[in-house]
A and B are shown apart, each in its own frame.
Chain A
Amino acid sequence: MNKFLKKLMNINSKKQIPSNSTPSKAQEIEMKNISFETIKDEIKKIFGHTADLKADDILVGKSEAIIFYLDTVINTDFLKDMLGQTLESPVEQDIRITSVDELQAFGKKAFGVSGYKLIHTLSEMTETILEGRIAVIIKGVPAALTISFINSEGRTVSEPTTQTVVRGPKDAFVEDISTNINLIRKRIKNHNLQFEKFKVGNETRTSVYIGSVKGIVNEKILEEVRKRIKDINISAIFESANIEELIQDKSATVFPLALNTERPDSVSSALLDGKIAIITDGTPFILLVPAVLTDFFISSEDNYQNYFMSSFIRMIRYLSFMIGLLMPSAYVGVLTFHPELLPTTLLLSVIAQREGVPFPAVIEVFIMEITFEILREAGVRMPRAVGQTVSIVGALVIGQAAAEAGIISNIMVIIVAITAIANFVFPNYSFANASRLIRFVLIIVASILGLYGVLLVLIFMVAHLSSLRSVGVPYLAPVAPFIVEDQKDIFIRTPIWFQNKRPAYLSPTTLDKQKPQGSPSPPKQSKGGSGD
């Protein structure tokens, strides 16, 4: 019966992931059907001519054994120690393993702590070897003992590079997935924090974990995320962006429908709000879903400084979003179609500056905006060694020199600079990119239809935004549909003792964060007559 079930499961797994890496029929063979002598050849057949596959004959007690491993994946120093201490140690000299049960007993005794696993088929064995485990096969035993020796060398935890804060934790996620989960676990010491493992990517078999806090997260949303991750059918996953693209509700949009962050504190607080973290192996960026538009305007530092200040900064962010989006198109629209909207003195000064400029306003804006985009891209891609050159040349092109040469007006330099800086205010890079694209659409429309066109595009944009959903949650959630209780942490940040509820738009299982309480206050002075 058991065997039948196992077979069934194997068939199922084959159906789900049709790919190169799925075991072929030859690999489905169970261990007991292969003799000890031919197993080396079988494994070699599967792996081909790869140079890093090692198959060594050893003695475990008195029994003959072979160990298989990829020496590029495992930590060979550990392996040497382990061989000396356990597998070939003198203590175990007289041990003799002849059955699966004995193997299990041995594994428990020797590797109980470091985690051993018994496997029964060749395909499983292939997979475990690829994961960085070693497989020990003992003569006459129809199973293999695998032990994890993964070489987790990688970047150490360092400061975040894209989402920096002045005050707040300075650690950021790294490429290694267990380190990342460790960083989250360190912050939420709660047994309800759970991680589910998935293998995504038919060729890469990348580990993807879905993290959520049971009792807070909405089970329906979690189930939806689970379903979407399972439904992914793609050959390779290298970054969480790949996953983001594959699970979003709608592809035809420039707006990011999942929040990515490299800050463990952001992830932790989002998890406790009822969001779901999607952690991908090999990338420091963790996805948070469902994401709503206002999430992209919230930095984790907002909670680490005075709430008046945070509210002000948040206002500045929304303002700079509008500036970054509208400044160039408003310039074009006003100058081309509605110069009368400007106060007379300002209009005169602008016109005087544009005196010698040979281009119409829209061409001027386009030249400068495109130049800026080129500089920006160059700044990101260039080798560090030539960085100086680009910034000096860039400053010349986009700055005073261009204005002095009479190609563009001074006010244009100011507008491009403000737009550019406003675009860097976002705590999240991916949202800034969306506004960059729309900016160009707005400039073109403004040059044809003036401010009326700008307004039309804005209405179109809002309509588009309100049609978006992130894992079923409306993208403009606490604003449209309007939810009064959620306004405590959207446009302004209220004090945290006042935010007693989790965001209702996520429909969390338990809405209350903590018992409602008053503001912290000094101890009441007991005056003589007041108490009675």
Chain B
Amino acid sequence: MLKENISLSQLITLVINFLLGSAIVVGVGMEAKRDAWIVIIAGLFIGLLIISAYYFLLSLQPGKNFFEILEICFSRPVAIVMSLGYICYFLYIACRVIRDFGEMISAAILPLTPIEVTVALLALVIGYILYMGIEVLGRTSEIFTPYTFAFMLMLFIFLYGSGNIEISNLEPVAANGWKPIVKAIVPSISVFPYGEMIAFTVVLADVTNFKYSRVISIFGVIIASMLLLLSVFLIITSLGENIALRSNFPLLSAARLVSIGEFIERIDALVVFIIMLGILIKSSVFIYGGLKGLEYVFNKPYRFFSIPIACIVSMFSIFISNDFSDHIREGLYVDIFVLHLPMEYGVPILILVTLLFKKWRKDRSAGKEVKA
């Protein structure tokens, strides 16, 4: 089997779109209300820390992906059990991400089309892309990312041009004290979207130039955070915190305010494009993580699983919750403690400690041998 590789420029676009993904759909840091921008800035640093930590984890065993490292730390039977857990986790997140998007489409774009159809078609496209391999995912993301930047900029210009941006909406800073802000930073934003970069522990192993991938992914995190910051800034300043809090899809609502010369109106399409690309990349990366796990467990090329898994993901993205509020509630109050914290922080820390311990023991024994 030919080893697939993605280039550094593809990696950076993947990181950017991954972080934008569902964060830009449902809005992030909204618990802090008008101080959401502080949350994003704090999140940026947490994100840098997290991606550096994951990179450090991988660099201890270069060329191995997350699942293979699990085997090195523990034995294969234990690793298989843990991998199955991670496969379910990755696929579950992919379901959630796709559900976010499906809800948005059926609420705002195609109200008469059943959500099952929109979700299934998106999942099939993802399945096709992953069937073609991670390279194709990287290239697709590379081609569309410039448009994300251009559209984001256009959105800013149009909102500014139509006079919707009120900087005073940001004031006063920390009116409700720092408690809600801190609460929004830990744990909320550190697990979603930054902690979710755990999926990159699988992708990073495929990068051609592993040495530089730390710098590149750090740049990716910075750029993505800037875009998130811009989106939150646009949302809060144009909508005001009250409407922003009540809106299910705040960026889309903000885009609907645009009206220039009674001609440039309703630029929803731009926002839908940004969101769709983010969702596509994010869920693809997660499904890819799951597929790689399956490859590890069953010793079969992951391509064979891609279409069936895409179908399963599309099905479960409907089954995981009854409606949108249920879906959001689950994400905000249940997943964080039950899934995100142990999967994104707990197990990686365990692995890190084990790896370092093994390394230390090996060094010591090697030192002893030299002495002897």
Residue numbers of A with Cβ under 8 A of B are 337-338, 340-341, 343-345, 449-453, 455-456, 459-460, 462-464, 466-467, 474, 476, 479-482
Contact B262 A344 (CB under 8 A): yes
CB distance from B270 to the nearest CB of A (A): 11
- In angstroms, Cα B137 to Cα A476, docked, is 13
From known contacts A340-B266, A452-B109, infer whether A466 and B140 are also in contact, taking CB-CB under 8 Å. Answer: yes
Contact B105 A480 (CB under 8 A): no
Name B82-135 residues within 8 Å CB distance of A: 105, 109-110, 113, 117-118, 121-122, 125, 128-129, 132-133, 135
- In angstroms, Cα B136 to Cα A344, docked, is 40
Contact A452 B262 (CB under 8 A): no
Pick the interface stretch among B150-158, B192-200, B272-280: B272-280
Contact B121 A449 (CB under 8 A): yes
CB within 8 A of B139: which of A345, A449, A481?
A481
Contact B9 A481 (CB under 8 A): yes
Using CB atoms, name the residue of chain B closest to A484. Answer: B9
From known contacts A449-B113, A451-B269, A456-B122, infer whether A479 and B143 are also in contact, taking CB-CB under 8 Å. Answer: yes
Using CB atoms, name the residue of chain B closest to A344. Answer: B262
CB within 8 A of A341: which of B136, B262, B268, B273?
B268
Consensus secondary structure, chain B interface: helix
Report chain B residues within 8 Å CB of A450.
109-110, 113
From known contacts A337-B110, A340-B266, infer whether A452 and B139 are also in contact, taking CB-CB under 8 Å. Answer: no
Q: Which 8 pairs of residues, A with B, have the shortest CB-CB distance?
A: A466-B139, A480-B139, A467-B132, A480-B142, A463-B129, A482-B9, A467-B136, A463-B140
Contact B132 A341 (CB under 8 A): no
* B10 contacts the other chain (CB 8 A): yes
- In angstroms, Cα B276 to Cα A460, docked, is 13
CB distance from B13 to the nearest CB of A (A): 9
Contact A341 B125 (CB under 8 A): no
Consensus secondary structure, chain A interface: helix
From known contacts A343-B262, A460-B128, A481-B142, infer whether A452 and B110 are also in contact, taking CB-CB under 8 Å. Answer: yes
Contact A474 B262 (CB under 8 A): no
Using CB atoms, name the residue of chain B closest to A453. Answer: B121
CB distance from A350 to the nearest CB of B (A): 14
Using CB atoms, name the residue of chain B closest to A445. Answer: B121
Interface residues on B, range: 35 or more
Using CB atoms, name the residue of chain A closest to B5. Answer: A481
Contact A474 B266 (CB under 8 A): no
Contact A463 B272 (CB under 8 A): no
From known contacts A459-B280, A463-B125, A463-B128, infer whether A452 and B142 are also in contact, taking CB-CB under 8 Å. Answer: no
CB within 8 A of A459: which of B125, B262, B264?
B125
Report chain B residues within 8 Å CB of A452.
105, 109-110, 118, 272, 276
* B323 contacts the other chain (CB 8 A): no
Contact A466 B121 (CB under 8 A): no
- In angstroms, Cα B125 to Cα A467, docked, is 13
From known contacts A450-B110, A452-B105, A456-B125, infer whether A474 and B139 are also in contact, taking CB-CB under 8 Å. Answer: yes
- In angstroms, Cα B49 to Cα A322, docked, is 42
* B360 contacts the other chain (CB 8 A): no
Q: Could you write out 9 A-B pairs with CB less than 8 Å apart?
A: A343-B264, A345-B262, A455-B273, A456-B121, A464-B132, A481-B9, A482-B7, A482-B10, A482-B142
From known contacts A340-B266, A452-B118, infer whether A466 and B143 are also in contact, taking CB-CB under 8 Å. Answer: yes
Contact B110 A476 (CB under 8 A): no
- In angstroms, Cα B372 to Cα A249, docked, is 60
* B45 contacts the other chain (CB 8 A): no
* B298 contacts the other chain (CB 8 A): no
* B330 contacts the other chain (CB 8 A): no
CB distance from A301 to the nearest CB of B (A): 27
CB within 8 A of A455: which of B113, B128, B276?
B276
Using CB atoms, name the residue of chain A closest to B121. Answer: A456
Contact A481 B272 (CB under 8 A): no
* B363 contacts the other chain (CB 8 A): no
CB distance from A463 to the nearest CB of B (A): 5
